[in-house]
Structure 1
C-alpha cells in the first residue's frame, strides 16, 4: 500500500484504535506469561483480557455538544504483534491483513477487534478461539467425528468461496497461505480463517489476471507447486492448499507426518496421488472413521458413510491436481463437501 493509502485507511479506523499503553498494561509489558503457543519468528501473539469499544462504533459520540463514551467490553482476545523481518516487509504484511479484515464480513472469517500503530509497534487484536486451531486436532482424531470434520471443511469452503467470488464490490481476495494452522475453532466447532498477511486483494477489472508475488509459505507441504515454481498466485493456489488440508482431515495425519516422508520427501500429497492411481487410497483413511470408536475419552462415532468418504476423496484429489487449470473452483468444492455431508447425515 502507498503511504497515502495507509494514511487514509488509518484515518477511517479511529474507532478501532487501541492504545499501546493499554496493551502493555494488559500483557504486563509483553510478558512471556501471556504469549500464545502459536507465536513464531514473524509475529508474537498474546492471550489477554482487554478493554475495547463496541466493534464498528467510534470511540466517542458527540451529541448536543457533549462527548459520551459508548459501551466498553472486556473480553479475552489475541494480540498479534508483528515483529521486524530481515526483508523489512512487516509493514506490508500488517496493513495487508488489516485491510482484509475490515473489508470482509463473514461468519467464517476471524473478527477484528482493534489495532495499534504507535512508534515501531504494529499489532492486530482479534477474537480468541475457544478450541485453538484445526492443526491441534489432526492426529488427535478421537475428538472429531466424521460429521464434525465435514462441517469444519464446509465452514472453510464457505469462507474461501466468499473471498474468491462473493465480495459485494466484486473484488477478489486470495489468502495465499492456507494450512490447518490458519483455521480457528470456537466452542461450537465453528471454523474461522485467520492470518491474512500474505493475502492479495485484486480489484474487479483484473480479477482474472495472474498475479506475481514473492512466494512465502510457512509449510512447503501445503504450497501450490505452480505458485512455488513460478510465483504466479491465483485462486487455484488456495484450492490446492485447501486440498492438502482435506487430505489431512480424512487421513488423520499432518502433511509432513513421518509415515509419508519415509515414502516421499514431498509428503502427504505425493503419497496420496500414488494411492489414487493404484486404487488403494482407502487404505490411507483414518481407521477410526470406518468403525465405531469405544476408546475412553472419545466422542462416540458411528463411522463414516462410504458414499460420503468417496465424494470427499474425489474432490480432495481434484483440489491437489498438479496444474492450476485442473482444479475446481471453491464453489464446486463447497457443493461436493455439502453433498458428502448429506450422505453422512442421511
Structure 2
C-alpha cells in the first residue's frame, strides 16, 4: 500500500493493531460480531484486549473492504488522517488502526446509547430524549463543528461534508460525538472561498446543501446546512426522509418545514412530546420545551437551512444561540420550580 507510506512520518505506531488481534476478537470476522455493512465497509462490535489485557474495551471495528478501484483505500486514509488530526471531546475517539495486506481497519470507541438515527421515528425512544437533553446533544455537535471550522491548531479547517443522523453517536452520559470522517476535507487556513468537491452525499441527499448540489462548491456553510436538517429532525422527532414529509414534498423534511415556518404553522410538525408543553404557563420538569427556549432554537435552525450559503450563520453563532436556548430552558425551570 504505497499511499500508507505518507503516514509513516506522522508517528502512528502507538495506534497500530495487529490483524491477528482483530481476527481473534472477531473470531475471524464472524457474522456474530457484524453489525452493519454497506458494500464497501463492514462494522463489527467486539471486545478488544490489545491495549489492556485485564480490562478489554468494547470497540467498533470499521473494516474497509477492497474494491475494484482505490476508493476504499482513499476513504480509509482520509478518515485516518482526520481522526489523528483532531482532538475534541465531541469527536469520536480513534483507538487504533490496522493495515495488513488488503485489510484496512479503524478501531473506534463504541457508543453506549447508539446513534441519533436509532431514536428518530420511534416514539418510545424519543420520549427518553427530553427537551433539555436534546438541546445538550445539539450543543455537543455544534461545539465539535465550531472546533473543526474555526478552532483547530494552526488555523486548520475541516469540513465534515456528510453530516447526518447516522454520524452522531451518543455515549453513556448522552454526550454526542461526530464520527464518519471518510469524506471530510481540509481547507487552507482562513479559506473563505471553499473548495470544489465531488458530490459525496449519495444516500443522504436530504442533508445536502442545495448550493453545493448546484455548484460543487463546498464551504463550512455546507456543514451548517446539514446540521440545520438535524436540528429539525430532533425538533420533529422524525427522519428527514420520513414518508410523512415525502407525501408533502419529494425534498423531504426541510422543504415542508420552511413552508410551515413561513405560514406560522411550524408547531404542527413538532414532536408531540415537546409540543404539549410549549406555551403553557405550567411546566413539567424534564419533559417539554418552554416557549422562549423553543423559539430561540427554531429561529437558528431555520437560519441554518437557508438555501443560499451566505445567508447561513457561522457555527460560532449557532452554538451561542443553542446555549441561549438551553439557558432559557433551565432558568424557566428554576423560576417555576
Other-structure match for 2:7 = 9
- The answer on whether the counterparts of 1:291 and 1:301 sit within 8 Å (CA) in structure 2 is no
SS of 1:209's partner is coil
Matched-pair contact (CA < 8 Å) for 1:139–1:254: yes
Give the 3 Å change call, closer, same or farther, for CA 257–251 of structure 1 in structure 2. Answer: same
Query: Shift in Å at residue 93 of structure 1?
Result: 0.8
Pair 311,235 (structure 1): closer, same or farther in 2 beyond 3 Å: same
Shift of 1:228: 1.8
Counterpart among 112, 122, 143 of residue 104 in structure 2: 122
Partner of 1:58: none
On the 8 A contact 1:53/1:72 being kept in 2, the answer is no
Superposition deviation, residue 169 in structure 1: 1.4
- Matched with 2:274 is 289
Which residue of 2 is the match for residue 226 of structure 1? 211
Aligned residue pairs total 320
Residues 289, 301 of structure 1: 8 Å contact kept: no
Measure, in 1, the Cα distance between the counterparts of 2:225 and 2:137.
17
- Equivalence for 2:187: 202
> CA contact under 8 A between 2:273 and 2:287: conserved in structure 1?
no
Q: Find runs of 4+ consecutive structure 1 residues off by over 4 angstroms.
A: none
- Give the deviation of 1:73 after TM superposition: 5.3
Whether 2:92 is the aligned partner of 1:110: answer yes
Gaps of 5+ in 2: 278-283, 332-337
- The alpha-carbon deviation at position 15 of structure 1 amounts to 1.2
Q: Summarize deviations over 1:251-280 as a string: whole Å, max 9, x none.
A: 111101111000100000000011111111
Q: Distance in 1 between matches of 2:185 and 2:269?
A: 34
Alpha-carbon shift at residue 208 of structure 1 (Å): 2.2
State the SS of the aligned residue for 2:105.
Answer: strand
Does the CA-based 8 Å contact 2:197-2:218 persist in structure 1? yes
Name the counterpart of 1:133: 115
Equivalences for residues 257-276 of structure 1 within 5 A: 257-276=242-261
Q: Distance in 2 between matches of 1:7 and 1:40?
A: 27
Distance 1:120 1:72 in 2: 31
- Normalised by the size of structure 1, how large is the TM-score? 0.88
- Write the mapping of 1:1-346 to structure 2, written as runs, cut at 5 A: 3=2, 6-11=4-9, 12-37=11-36, 39-53=37-51, 74-85=56-67, 87-140=69-122, 141-204=126-189, 207-217=191-201, 218-291=203-276, 301-346=286-331
Q: CA deviation at 1:180?
A: 0.8
- Output the CA distance in 2 between the equivalents of 1:302 and 1:132: 21
Question: For 2:84, what is the secondary structure of its paired residue?
Answer: helix
- Give the whole-Å Cα distance in 2 for the aligned partners of 1:204 and 1:145: 38
Cα gap change, 1:344/1:254 in structure 2, threshold over 3 Å: closer, same or farther? same
1:302 CA drift (Å): 3.5
- Alignment deviations for residues 268-324 of structure 1 (CA, whole Å, 9 cap, x no partner): 0000011111111121111111336xxxxxx97442100111011111110000011
- Relative to 1, partners in 2 of residues 1:94 and 1:313: Cα closer, same or farther, differing over 3 Å? same
SS in 2 for 1:220: helix
Taking the aligned partners of 2:168 and 2:288, their CA distance within structure 1 comes to: 24
Q: State the Cα distance separating 1:89 from its structure 2 match.
A: 1.0
The answer on whether the counterparts of 1:291 and 1:302 sit within 8 Å (CA) in structure 2 is: no
More helix by share: 2
